[in-house]
């Protein structure tokens, strides 16, 4: 994964979430749970780091924008 851009955390309420999970399905489900609550720029795939267990996924949240219930 590339470095986190200053623009992604430039204001209160913006966050970068990195998910580490044992498999793709788990990481994507966690992302879905976050996206169901807040405005989220989602990833469509996970990444693997050679020599490290599991998968990684990064998504960007705007917690100022809660979704309607």
State the pLDDT at residue 8: 63
Higher pLDDT, 17 or 3: 17
Residue 11: the pLDDT is: 85
Is there a domain that residue 6 lies in? Answer: no
Q: How many structural domains compose the chain?
A: 1
Residue 5, in any domain of the structure? no
Q: Which domain holds residue 38?
A: 11-66
pLDDT tens per residue across span 34-63 = 999 988 889 999 999 899 999 999 999 998
Does residue 19 form part of some domain? yes
Please count the helices (runs of H) and the strands (runs of E) in the chain: 1, 3
Asked if the model's pLDDT at residue 28 lies above 70, the reply is yes
Does any domain span residue 2? no
- Residue 44 is assigned to a structural domain of this protein: yes
Domain assignment present for 3? no
Residue 16 falls inside a structural domain: yes
Does residue 20 fall inside a structural domain?
yes
| Phi (first) and psi of residue 65, to 5 degrees | -110, 85
């Amino acid at each position: 994964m590339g470095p986190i851009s200053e623009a992604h955390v430039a204001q209160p309420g913006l966050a970068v979430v990195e998910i580490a999970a044992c498999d793709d399905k788990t990481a994507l489900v966690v992302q879905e749970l976050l996206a169901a609550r807040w405005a989220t720029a989602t990833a469509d795939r996970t990444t693997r780091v050679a020599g490290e267990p599991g998968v990684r996924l990064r998504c960007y949240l705007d917690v100022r924008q809660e979704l309607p219930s």
